Amino acid sequence: MLSIRELTKTFASPSGELAAVDRISFDVAPGEFFTMLGPSGCGKTTTLRMIAGLETPTSGAIAFDGRDYTRVPPQQRNIGMVFQSYALFPHLSVFENVAYGLRNRGVKGTELERRVAEVLGALQLDGFKTRLPSTLSGGQQQRVSIARALVYRPSMLLLDEPLANLDAKLRIQMREEIRRIQREFGILSLYVTHDQEEAMAISDRLALFNAGRLVQIGRPGDLYRQPATLFAADFIGRANFFAARLAGRDASGAKIALAGGPELTVARVVALAPEEAARVPADVDGLLMARPERIGIAPGSRGIRARIGRMQQLGGCQRYIVAAEAAVGEVTVDSWRAGEEYGEGADAALTLDGSDCVLFLRPEKSA
């Protein structure tokens, strides 16, 4: 088990100390695929590099299986790492690239050959032993770099945006491949990406970062359905926001009224942090968040009044970009009902189900 406690990294900047990573704590279980997700500059890569030993934490602790790793140099951590640029040794053959870590561990002769062949086999690289990295495709280089990281049976695998240099189709293929290999080796893996879709698709659990802080940890579905902040709601999937007034509370949740629309009961109520409360319009108590596929759209005026702005055909569903009277910003609605289409400029009504929504309340209204 990997334990991160109060991990902090500050850099000196012209405007004073800047916390790139600010008191991050989490645990990763053996065999778990754990992803650190966030926009660029959020601290996820710095965190990964501290776990690798490539950066020294300013404070906090990293422990693995009860052993303190915080000040252990990277050579002695016995970890495998896959870099965004792959960082294959350009002057060494595929075989020697993969054998590199074994040689550092004093493995020689037939044992070395056997183990390199084994891992090359697992990554479908059998025929490439003597090739130089520059003669391989991006996907093949990626496999070699994974093979190099796994061959010495590291205690964990760190992956730093490993798919960022691949084209879209290969990216999806490779992420399945990475997941398969991770399961096959049963290795605790830490994955860094800024692509939320990738993170959702590949992870057992993920940690969302923003501005050096850990925003939320959970399984992909939890983060999608129950975002803990407006940032999380926005960053993972698409989010629509409606201005909401608090009408009352009871055991089943908060009763709210939307401007010009019906009243709803919302079970999932989140108190906003002060810095996010500024996004709530002045005359209301909070924002109601609904996912595009959880909003109903129908002709007439029974619901939230709306006007269709644009329609996009996404294949499986129609996406409507809609102006609605209660909404804060544009509303995106994904409709899966076949055959039913609304023209641009048409009037429509939106319907919400309180059990699909999350209510973000001003801090002073949440008590």
Write out the residues near other proteins by the rule CB under 8 A.
Answer: 52-54, 73-81, 83-85, 87-91, 100-102, 104-107, 145, 148-149, 152-153, 155
CB of 345 to other proteins, least distance (A): 45
Provide the 3-class DSSP secondary structure of residue 133.
helix
CB of 68 to other proteins, least distance (A): 15
Instruction: Sort strands 240-250 and 67-68 into parallel, antiparallel or unpaired.
Output: unpaired
Closer Cβ to other proteins, 157 or 223, answer by number:
157
CB of 193 to other proteins, least distance (A): 17
CA dihedral 275, 280, 284, 285 (to 10 degrees): -40
**Tokens in use for 359?**
């209510």
Closer Cβ to other proteins, 156 or 272, answer by number:
156
Q: Are 357 and 268 in contact (CB under 8 A)?
A: yes
Provide the 3-class DSSP secondary structure of residue 79.
strand
Distance CA 191, CA 270 (A): 28
Maximum separation of any 2 CA atoms in the chain, in Å: 78
CA dihedral 116, 122, 124, 130 (to 10 degrees): 0
Closer Cβ to other proteins, 148 or 362, answer by number:
148
Query: DSSP H helical segments within the chain, as ranges?
Result: 44-52, 94-104, 109-122, 138-150, 168-185, 196-202, 220-225, 230-235, 274-277
Distance CA 16, CA 175 (A): 39
Closer Cβ to other proteins, 53 or 354, answer by number:
53
Closer Cβ to other proteins, 85 or 252, answer by number:
85
CB of 146 to other proteins, least distance (A): 12
CA angle 91, 163, 55 (to 5 degrees): 70
Q: Are 151 and 112 in contact (CB under 8 A)?
A: no
CB of 84 to other proteins, least distance (A): 8
Closer Cβ to other proteins, 91 or 337, answer by number:
91
Closer Cβ to other proteins, 151 or 359, answer by number:
151
CB of 105 to other proteins, least distance (A): 4
Closer Cβ to other proteins, 122 or 149, answer by number:
149
Distance CA 321, CA 343 (A): 11
CB of 92 to other proteins, least distance (A): 8
Provide the 3-class DSSP secondary structure of residue 103.
helix
CB of 57 to other proteins, least distance (A): 15
